[in-house]
Amino acid sequence: MRKNLLGSLLLAAGLMLGQVAHAQEAATDEVIMSAAEFQKEQAAVVSIDLATRSVVLAMQNGRLLEFNQIDAGVTALNQLKVGDLVNVAGSQAIVLALQKGGAGVRSVVETSGRDVTANGVGTVITRTVRNDIVRVDLKKGEALVRNVPGEFITISVPNKELLARAADGDQLLVITRVKAVVWGQ
């Protein structure tokens, strides 16, 4: 199966987009590519439960976002009312990294966390997919990668200098991150 580099990697990862702030994960790895997208829009407060510190927001596209057990440090929650408009900012990004060695440990690891400030709350989801590099063919400009389900994917890599740094037994990491932060007016 032949695909372009980015298309193959996104497919192999079963992509959910994420944010580029993956320095800790990729610090010892060689970053091959990174991309990020940022968005901001307003949402209407649909419901608030101060007892459980939960809020439901309606995005402009009709999608509902629910935030539960909001940290007590988020003082803006106490001032919100149903119908208020709040700002929602989000970011999505991906980092592709070459990790020397480690073949045979294909995996998908998802983590989630919270982003809390005095006037807002957010959630962060990070996903790291470890794929094995099975074969590198410099002459053809291709790498054969085995993804987590065990499928083999041939990836065309036009940058031969980059391809020359990869070897059989290395891993291709696909690190994605999604972040959404909500704050009052």
Distances (CA, A) of 44 to 32, 57, 74, 184: 39, 5, 18, 11
Model pLDDT for residues 15-61, shown as the tens digit of each residue: 223 333 333 444 467 887 788 998 898 999 999 999 999 999 999 98
**Statement: the pTM of the whole predicted model exceeds 0.75:** no
**Distance from C-alpha of 11 to C-alpha of 39, rounded to nearest angstrom:** 23
Span 161-176, mean pLDDT?
90
The answer to whether the CB of 177 falls within 8 A of the CB of 42 is: no
**Cα torsion through 82, 72, 124, 112, rounded to 10:** -120
Give yes or no for a contact between 86 and 184, defined as CB atoms under 8 angstroms apart. Answer: yes
